[in-house]
Amino acid sequence: MTQPILETRKLGMVYRGHRDVAALTDVSFTLHRGRALALVGESGSGKSTCAKILTRMVTATGGQILFDGKDVTRPGNRREVLAYRSQVQMVFQDPFAALNPAHDVRHHLSRPLALHKPELGRGEREDRAVELSMMVGLDPVETLGKYPHELSGGQRQRVNLARAMAVDPSVLIADEPTSMLDVSIRLTILDMFKPLKRDRGIAMLYITHDIATARYVAEETAVIYGGRIVEIGPTSAIIDAPRHPYTRLLLAAVPEIGRPFGATDASLVREADRVREISREPGRLSEVAPGHLVRECSASHI
Ligand SMILES: Nc1ncnc2c1ncn2[C@@H]1O[C@H](COP(=O)(O)OP(=O)(O)OP(=O)(O)O)[C@@H](O)[C@H]1O
Ligand SMILES: [Mg+2]
């Protein structure tokens, strides 16, 4: 495979406090142009911490980040940080909180251009705002002059996506982009990621607690628990032939994925606490099939 655009090597994060929290331990994965990796796990597993490190909102306490083969682990000077940020953009979970109620859509789409592409004139910024709104399925004539409160949740998330795309990033990180939206429109939002990957070669990290949507968005999936990746590989293998008990537990909780509750799954759900306990073990990641890695744990019989 080609060189990854973004790579983490044994990324670690310990939040220091009166009680230290090891939010991430030895997290390694790669993001490739035109492809998506789903990072799946329940609340508190470390998903947002990972997003925050990759977007430079916090600095990792261990490990390395490579962007296009270059070590970018330590934040550089202001110019370097700005350049990196324009390449790695983020879409947040809460579409309303991410937008400033005092500004219209035009402002939200033009502002990143003013910051990252100061060479563009006012007319060019307007053209780009029109193009961006059309890219996310919003009518520019109707939408550019509107304020966040005049938009539906789905429309707001489209504006957030357009804003993230404004500076032509190569990596998009979406942290639970649909979990606050009405169920009926979630797929239409997820659908917008496909052309970004296909036509613009965007590499994507899709963060979700809903393993069923991984298949819809991502070629690869990493399952994370307690800050450690317990299983990573092609999404089809993870969903159709899961190996780690924790992955199977997540899947057992999703009836609509088309996997009938088998005897194994029922006992898994009964033993959920035990599954979580063994999933915290720092076992070795071993390759069970090409590109499919599973963390060894003490209860392969579950
Ligand atoms: N700023 C912080 N200071 C201290 N601990 C933190 C901080 N941010 C997160 N944590 C802790 O780190 C762990 C991972 O949190 P994180 O927000 O990354 O999880 P998450 O997988 O995104 O969860 P959710 O699905 O609820 O968004 C949790 O135990 C959390 O309490
Ligand atoms: Mg989170």
pLDDT on residue 281: 86
pLDDT on residue 5: 98
Q: Which of 11, 15, 207 to mutate to test the pocket of ligand 1 (most atoms within 8 A of CB)?
A: 15
Residue appearing with tokens 């809903």 = 210
Three-class SS state of 268: helix
- Every domain of the chain and the residues it spans: 6-295
Ligand 2 ion: nearby residues, β-carbon < 5 Å:
48
Three-class SS state of 23: strand
Per-residue pLDDT tens, the chain, 302 aa: give them: 689 999 999 999 999 999 999 999 999 999 999 999 999 999 999 999 999 999 999 999 999 999 999 999 987 888 888 899 999 999 998 888 889 999 999 999 999 998 888 899 999 999 999 999 999 999 999 999 999 999 999 999 999 999 999 999 999 999 999 988 888 889 999 999 999 999 999 999 999 999 999 999 999 999 999 999 999 999 999 999 999 999 999 998 776 554 555 545 667 777 888 889 889 888 899 999 999 999 998 865 55
pLDDT on residue 262: 52
Residue of minimum CA distance from atom 26 in ligand 1 = 43
The Å distance, Cα 55 to ligand 2 centre, comes to: 14
Q: d(Cα 289, Cα 284) in Å, to the nearest integer?
A: 15
Q: d(Cα 41, Cα 90) in Å, to the nearest integer?
A: 19
Q: Which of 11, 39, 48 to mutate to test the pocket of ligand 1 (most atoms within 8 A of CB)?
A: 48
pTM of this prediction? 0.93
pLDDT on residue 211: 93
Q: Which ligand 1 atom minimizes the distance to the CA of 45? A: 21
> Is the CB of 43 within 6 Å of ligand 1?
yes
pLDDT on residue 89: 96
> Is the CB of 15 within 6 Å of ligand 1?
yes
Q: Which CATH superfamily is domain 6-295 in?
A: P-loop containing nucleotide triphosphate hydrolases (3.40.50.300)
Contacts of 26 by beta carbon, 8 Å cutoff, 6+ apart: 10, 11, 12, 63, 228, 229
Residue of minimum CA distance from atom 17 in ligand 1 = 48
Q: Which ligand 1 atom minimizes the distance to the CA of 224? A: 21
